[in-house]
Amino acid sequence: MSGLTFVDVCSGAGGLALGLERAGFEPRLLLDEDADSCRTLKANRPQWTVLQADLLDFDPGEHPKSYDVDLLSAGLPRVKSNATAARAETGDEERLLRAAVYLAHAVGPRALLIENVPALADSDRFRDFRDFAHAELQHLGYEFSWFILNAADFGVPQERKQGVLVAIKKQWFPSFRSPAPTVTKHVSVGEALVDSMRSRGWKDADRWAAQAVTVAPTLVGGSKNRGGADLGPSGTKRKWAKVGVNAHSLSNEIPGPEFVWAPDRGREGMVQLTVDQTAVLQSFPEDWEITGRKTARYRQIGHASPPPVGEALGRAIVRALHS
């Protein structure tokens, strides 16, 4: 163990927190406004202090254990693309970004980690937020780095790019290096799921896996205001169809011996994934319990930060803070 502590906000299903735990950090407090996510966290780590609350309403003065930690981490709800930026809830998501930076004033961590969409790190659309973060963090004595990581480079069987801000107090920042890839070959959908697909005796499992040679498209959890348990927008569904997966809904069970995989017949001949299989694609461990009903479980998984990415970021921050 590194002996370092952290507070994690907008914790969701715990992907980022689990990765940081693997890197040696001990959580003081985890916060999320979603009841299902809080139940997930408590089911897997009963010893963690989990608070159900909105980040915009969180007062660390009421929770003094959050003060003077080594790291404040935030896997915040994804800000929207340009196509959906006008939706009402987008403003809330951008306010959460600013709230995470403001929280550094009160919590006083040695390091801050914010993870979101890749555009956050380099798009003109988020220039105002980057300028805001620059001014606030520089005033507090931090130096910082913006960069983009692809989860596939860390063994996650998914094309999932993440925009990352790491800010560290000036005396430790010169030793920080953004994480280097941990794998030389990406793990394909077929490799990740073939054992699961075989588990009920599906005779076409190996044939399906042999052609599913790419990483999965980015999992999209959807919002509480719309959508059910499917694998994302139309463009993402077309990518899934190329590997013989019907992405229009999730199945309640893995295919059995009677299912015939015949993608030339369209959706009916394609295999469907289960919620548990999407957790594999997000690189959650098998024993990590995601609580709630089907759609709520998938939403937690789709919104999560893959634990291997959180671990790589955590190890990079540990090296800097121990320098």
Q: Helix/strand/coil (H, E, C) string of 105-135?
A: HHHCCCEEEEEECCHHHHCHHHHHHHHHHHH
pLDDT for 88 beyond 90: no
223: confidence class by pLDDT, cuts 50, 70, 90: low
- List of domains in the chain: 4-183+305-321 (3.40.50.150), 189-300 (no CATH)
Helix (H) or strand (E) holding 299: helix 294-303
Q: Provide the mean pLDDT of the chain.
A: 93
User: What is the sign, positive or negative, of the torsion defined by CA atoms of 11, 149, 177, 99?
Assistant: negative
Which amino acid type is present at position 185?
A: K
Q: pLDDT for 285-313, tens place per residue? A: 999 999 999 999 999 999 999 999 999 99
Q: How far apart are the first and last CA of the chain?
A: 16
Q: pLDDT for 95-145, tens place per residue? A: 999 999 999 989 999 999 999 999 999 999 999 999 999 999 999 999 999
* DSSP single-letter state for residue 70: S
pLDDT for 83 beyond 70: no
pTM of the model: 0.94
